[in-house]
Chain A
Amino acid sequence: MTERHIVALSAGLGRPSSTRLLADRLAEATATELADRGQRPEVRVVELRDHAHDIVNAMLTGVPSPELAEVIEAVTGADALIAVTPLFTTTYSGLFKSFVDVLDKDSLVGLPVLLGATGGTARHSLALEYSIRPLFTYLRADVATTSVFAATDDWAAGATADEPSPLPARIRRAGAELATTVAARGPRGPQDPFAGAPSFADLLGG
């Protein structure tokens, strides 16, 4: 069995947080589906609020603190990323974007990513598609087709017997998609900053 490192990132600010709850559910679904595919999932949940000051400091100094550097390494070296943000004034939260902004722009290339968002009402659900997906497309991550939006209403369990909440099914489908992508690949592993260093002959020739 191959060990697979899944990082679930939550940019929720509250405690408890529905964004964290969605991140947990997506991670759980992905882990279950990975186990079904003969993989050994290791899930780590990161709450960005714990690193909010460090993220701002990294923007000001250009250098992450050791704690933030460790989180960045976990995210960029993971086999898959589950990225979940609350929607604030039509788009991802500032904290979520600030974290993405301190990442090296090439560090998510090819990384399987599952997107999730939470909001007050379903009116904003398309923000996942017009705002959050392009961000990860720009970073050349491998974004799963299914993204998951959870409005406050969606947490009202089961709704009625006639009309069950679509959220659990959607979470399962998203987890299965991500697990299929991850299972088909070799482990990604931590990134070696010197792996891409060209030899001097190449530099002179270039």
Chain B
Amino acid sequence: MQFGVFTVSDITPDPHTGRAPDDTERVRSILTIAQHAEEVGLDVFATGEHHNPPFVASSPTTMLGYLAGRTKDIVLSTATTLITTNDPVRLAEEYAMLQVISDGRMDLMMGRGNTGPVYPWFGQDVRQGIPLAIENYALLRRLWTEEVVDWEGKFRTPLQGFTSTPRPLDGIPPFVWHGSIRSPEIAEQAAYYGDGFFHNNIFWPMSHTKQMVQFYRQRFEYYGHGRADQAIVGLGGQVFMRKNSQDAVDEFRPYFDNAPVYGHGPSLEDFSAQTPLTVGSPQQVIDRYAAMRHDVGHYQRQLFLIDHAGLPLKTVLEQLDILGGEVVPVLRKEMESDRPADVPSGPPTHAERLAKARAAGAVHEQTVAAADHWTGRTAEDDAAAADAVAGRQGAAFGL
């Protein structure tokens, strides 16, 4: 099973000092955290994508591309990539580039984004969130699997004879997760494609998470991708640990009480009881998270949020030490102890997917050998070239 961390990249003042890092410091902290996550033996680092302060992670593939060069084993991912407000053409290009650079050591998680104003800033309408997620993702898949794409939809300018480059590594598109908290439509989408489903349950009771995951699992089986218990599931989590449980509570409480994400609402005790937030000893974290599989079934990826709410970098790195040193090795063993042999222990790796595609004779072209039809030509030439690519005559293109 995969264990990792995900960041929402918030800039929050430390309640003890009132000091907040500036954007540069926070970005560099995140890079340090990601690299330390690998050092302590975690499997995944994922970054959010936000386009409004107080969040700094606006450009995930730049960040992950750098980390791909600085790390060796850790899987680089997103939580989430905005499938609604990003142009699917740019997503196809950027994440294929990341896949090539990281040699397949990446995947990504689609999400709609919950910040209303971000939609109009990118020319979209929040009320169209679900239709955007459906249409954009359908196009993204085509751009990765088909060399030359003619496409027309509701939300983006049409494409004629478009080829997204670089082509996916070995002709195998990146593995995709779909993150959703409440929308059955997105669980349905993940199930339809046989993609992974991630329930970011950090604010939610297990009763709700269980319902959503069960729905996805049933639909995964319905669409013929395998049995329900073989579907690819990921969960979120939040922990803060110290050797002595009361020390953890005392140290974390000021952050909990003041952070905008949950401050001045429920008490730390209520929130801990109602959500996966676990503040205490490493053993308490192990016990709580080892039990998750009894509710949602054997799952493949567990991500923890540990660098939020203004926690200082030093503290976050200590949390990673505890997570990697004491918690994950035990949790990993526990999680695998009763996993049926035919239930995957992680999402499919690039190598596994390549082998499967080769066996099925379904490997897509990795390079596009075609000549450059476009550069430096006049509009009239473009029209002729478009006709040539599309195998048609007389189409008015490029005018």
Q: What is A's interface to B at a CB cutoff of 8 Å?
A: 56-57, 60-63, 65-66, 69, 193-194, 196-200, 203-204, 206
Contact = CB atoms under 8 A, between A and B. Distances in A.
Q: Which 9 A-B pairs have the closest CB atoms?
A: A197-B184, A60-B265, A200-B192, A57-B266, A57-B265, A63-B203, A203-B134, A61-B265, A194-B184
24 contacts: A56-B265, A60-B265, A61-B203, A61-B271, A62-B203, A63-B205, A63-B274, A63-B275, A65-B266, A66-B205, A66-B274, A194-B184, A194-B211, A196-B184, A197-B185, A198-B188, A200-B191, A203-B130, A203-B131, A203-B134, A203-B189, A204-B134, A204-B138, A206-B131
B175 interface: no
Interface in B179-215: 184-185, 187-189, 191-192, 203-205, 207, 211, 215
B188 A63 contact: no
B185 A60 contact: no
B397 interface: no
Given A60-B264, A198-B188, 17 more contacts: A57-B266, A61-B262, A63-B203, A65-B270, A193-B184, A193-B211, A194-B184, A194-B215, A197-B187, A197-B188, A200-B188, A200-B191, A200-B192, A203-B131, A203-B189, A204-B138, A206-B134
B56 to A, nearest CB: 23
A196 B131 CA distance: 16
Contacts of B271: 61
A152 B251 CA distance: 52
Nearest to B138: A204
Given A193-B184, A194-B215, A63 B204 contact: yes
Contact of B188 (A62, A66, A199): A199
A158 B134 CA distance: 64
Contacts of B131: 203, 206
A57 to B, nearest CB: 5
A56 B185 CA distance: 29
A60 B189 CA distance: 30
Interface of B: 130-131, 134, 138, 184-185, 187-189, 191-192, 203-205, 207, 211, 215, 223, 262, 264-266, 270-271, 274-275
B214 to A, nearest CB: 9
Nearest to A199: B188
Contacts of A200: 188-189, 191-192, 223
A203 B188 contact: yes
Contacts of A63: 203-205, 274-275
Nearest to B203: A63
A181 to B, nearest CB: 31
A61 B207 CA distance: 17
A65 B204 CA distance: 9
Nearest to A65: B274
A146 B197 CA distance: 49
Contacts of A196: 184
A197 B215 contact: yes
A203 B223 CA distance: 15
B185 A203 contact: yes
Nearest to A62: B203
A156 B265 CA distance: 42
B129 to A, nearest CB: 12
B225 to A, nearest CB: 13
